[in-house]
């Protein structure tokens, strides 16, 4: 192994075993392992992240030139890795990443770790304890080494219906109730979906959209890190997530192209899928929808750095990122009695999407309250971030301090909301069967469809939209004032259950598609 006295710990890379996990011993030296090394962006003051987004959207080519990895720094990492017997699988200067493959023994030598196999009630995984280590000469340029630990990183945020509802809706009916115009279809816009498992079938898509009287949209699967469109066919699990995302986006923005980026459910796969979508010069997505996530505490700081750099890049090239806020209420599924928020919905560079229960009468909204069906039925995520400070554009909406004892201020989650309750859920088709599904996983693609309509109307990508949404709170959102998600209650104005509220789409499109000179784009710091 490399002399660890010359190795520097990589900040934020420390790992501890999952609670209840048991080591079954050292990984066999010849076991193949794959990692992605993320490097820092090239210094460019003009493209530095700002608290108050401003500046023009730039092309992906310009972003690569001005903010991609320094070729010399990437070359040094490559030389170091190959010198220890690792193979370069992918070299991406624009995305600042180097994907490496090699035997476990070489990975241990390169990154100063001991790889072990752990058994856990939810399955076995490869991992390490402590920090990743690098030679001092490389430590300053590397921000993350992901993939040495391959535990599942994220959860789906859909909820299947478990009781017979009084009513369910198609995504077309939900969009119409919120006021989506029939004159727009998202034509010419690419919407990216990030999926960490599961898949879709063309037969299901044809049956679903034909049943709605709509054209079958163009849907393309994009492989990342060996991920693929792999439906299980059992009608549950990640297939339902994938189908829900595609069907909601395709129903709301039927003219849009949908690109589905499939990656393994690891920190490496998640980060690489985001980077692949943001830096895709072939499809150039203007909207990115993410329906996967997990408690902030489940991510390493190095993984968050890689994610946040991707979100900054997204805003700079005009890609708007929408993320589901979670389905387990204010605890976010953590069994410690504390309040938690879901990441990446808590990133201050994305639109966090919370959930409501929607009741329609003759197609019009009769009532709308916070989605909370109790511990077993799910509830919208939301709360106050323990990772990110309060951004300036939330400064005047009354984000409370954290509900935890001694809790402080932080970024409030979510930003917006929409129908998510399975008991007022969405009619979808999954693995050959029609079913009803809810969850905030439906809200992220719902808003992604609305943003696609706004991009079509504006004739340009919109980038980071949160400041515009907050400035238009009174006119573009329907305030939700009834209900709670556990630790937080709804009330007048922004709240940690439904954010600004549910959309008044016509007004929201007016705000988002306003002339570029009167709007702002860009990124905020992570």
Cis status, amide bond into 344, omega within 30 of 0: yes
In the chain, the domains with their CATH numbers are 4-146 (no CATH), 155-518 (3.40.50.200)
Q: Are 273 and 196 in contact (CB under 8 A)?
A: yes
pLDDT at residue 208 greater than cutoff 80: yes
Q: What is the pLDDT, as a whole number, of residue 158?
A: 82
Q: What is the pLDDT, as a whole number, of residue 521?
A: 40
pLDDT in tens, 264-299: 999 999 999 999 999 999 999 999 999 999 999 999
pLDDT at residue 524 greater than cutoff 50: no
Residue % of the chain over a pLDDT of 90? 88
Q: What is the pLDDT, as a whole number, of residue 55?
A: 53
Q: Are 34 and 504 in contact (CB under 8 A)?
A: no
| C-alpha pair distances (Å), 152 with each of 13, 60, 148, 232, 335 | 16, 30, 12, 18, 18
Kindly state the tokens that stand for 463.
């980038």
Q: What is the pLDDT, as a whole number, of residue 516?
A: 62
| C-alpha pair distances (Å), 485 with each of 35, 398, 423 | 38, 17, 16
pLDDT averaged over the chain? 93
Active site residues: 241, 245, 441
pLDDT in tens, 102-141: 999 999 999 999 999 999 988 899 999 899 999 999 989 9
Question: How far from each other are the two terminal CA atoms of the chain, in whole angstroms?
Answer: 35
436 pairs with which residues across the strands?
Answer: 427
Lowest model confidence (mean pLDDT) among 47-51, 140-144, 188-192, 430-434: 47-51
| C-alpha pair distances (Å), 305 with each of 269, 302, 486 | 15, 5, 30
Please classify residue 336 by burial: count the beta carbons closer than 10 Å to its beta carbon, then call 0-12 exposed, 13-18 middle and 19+ buried: exposed
pTM for the structure as a whole: 0.95
pLDDT at residue 343 greater than cutoff 80: yes
Cis status, amide bond into 455, omega within 30 of 0: no
pLDDT in tens, 31-56: 999 999 999 998 654 554 443 344 57
φ, ψ at 314 (rounded to 5°): -60, -50
φ, ψ at 231 (rounded to 5°): -65, 140
Question: What mean pLDDT is predicted for residues 363-392?
Answer: 95
SS3 190: strand
Helix or strand run (H / E) with residue 223: strand 219-223
Q: What is the pLDDT, as a whole number, of residue 385?
A: 98
Distance CA 337, CA 325 (A): 19
Residue % of the chain over a pLDDT of 70? 94
Distance CA 34, CA 103 (A): 9
């Amino acid at each position: 192994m490399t002399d660890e006295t010359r190795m520097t710990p990589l900040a934020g890379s420390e790992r501890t075993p999952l609670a209840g996990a048991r080591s079954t011993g050292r990984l066999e030296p010849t076991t193949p392992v794959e990692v992605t090394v993320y490097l820092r962006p090239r210094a460019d003051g003009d493209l530095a992240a700002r608290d108050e987004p401003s500046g023009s959207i730039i092309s992906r080519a310009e972003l690569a030139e001005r903010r991609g990895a320094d070729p010399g720094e990437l070359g040094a990492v490559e030389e170091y890795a190959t010198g220890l017997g690792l193979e370069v699988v992918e070299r991406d200067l624009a995305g600042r990443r180097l994907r490496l493959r090699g035997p476990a023994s070489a990975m241990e030598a390169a990154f100063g770790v001991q790889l072990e196999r752990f058994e856990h009630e939810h399955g076995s995984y490869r991992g390490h304890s402590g920090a990743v280590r690098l030679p001092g000469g490389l430590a300053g340029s590397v921000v993350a080494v992901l993939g040495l630990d391959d535990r599942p990183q994220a959860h789906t945020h859909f909820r299947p219906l478990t009781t017979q509802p009084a009513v369910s809706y198609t995504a077309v009916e939900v969009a119409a109730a919120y006021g989506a115009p029939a004159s727009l279809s998202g034509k010419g816009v690419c919407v990216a979906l990030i999926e960490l498992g599961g898949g879709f079938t063309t037969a299901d898509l044809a049956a679903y959209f034909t049943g709605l009287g709509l054209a079958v949209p163009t849907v393309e699967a994009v492989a990342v890190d060996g991920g693929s469109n792999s439906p299980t066919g059992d009608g549950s699990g990640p297939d339902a997530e994938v189908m829900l995302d595609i069907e909601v986006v395709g129903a709301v923005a039927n003219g849009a192209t949908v690109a589905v980026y499939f990656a393994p459910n690891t920190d490496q796969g998640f980060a690489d899928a985001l980077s692949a979508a943001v830096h895709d010069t072939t499809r150039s997505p203007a909207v990115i929808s993410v329906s996967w996530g997990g408690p902030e505490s489940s991510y390493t700081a190095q993984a968050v750095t890689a994610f946040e750099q991707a979100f900054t890049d997204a805003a700079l090239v005009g890609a708007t990122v929408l993320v589901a806020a979670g389905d387990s209420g204010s605890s976010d599924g953590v069994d410690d009695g504390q309040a938690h928020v879901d990441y990446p919905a808590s990133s201050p560079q994305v639109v966090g999407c919370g959930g409501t229960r929607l009741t329609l009468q003759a197609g019009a909204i009769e009532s709308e309250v916070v989605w909370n069906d109790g511990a077993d039925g799910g509830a919208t995520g939301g709360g106050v971030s323990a990772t990110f400070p309060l951004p300036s554009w939330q400064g005047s909406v009354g984000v409370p301090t954290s509900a935890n004892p001694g809790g402080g201020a932080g970024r409030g989650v979510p930003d917006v909301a929409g129908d998510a309750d399975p008991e007022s859920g969405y009619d979808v088709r999954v693995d050959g069967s029609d079913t009803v599904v809810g969850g905030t996983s439906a809200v992220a693609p719902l808003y992604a469809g609305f943003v696609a309509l706004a991009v079509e109307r504006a004739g340009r990508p919109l980038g980071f939209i949160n400041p515009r949404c907050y400035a238009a709170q009174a006119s573009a959102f329907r305030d939700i004032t009834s209900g709670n998600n556990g630790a937080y209650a709804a009330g007048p104005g922004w709240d940690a259950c439904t954010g600004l509220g549910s959309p008044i789409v016509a007004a929201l499109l007016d705000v988002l598609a306003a002339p570029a000179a009167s709007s702002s784009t860009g990124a905020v710091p992570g």
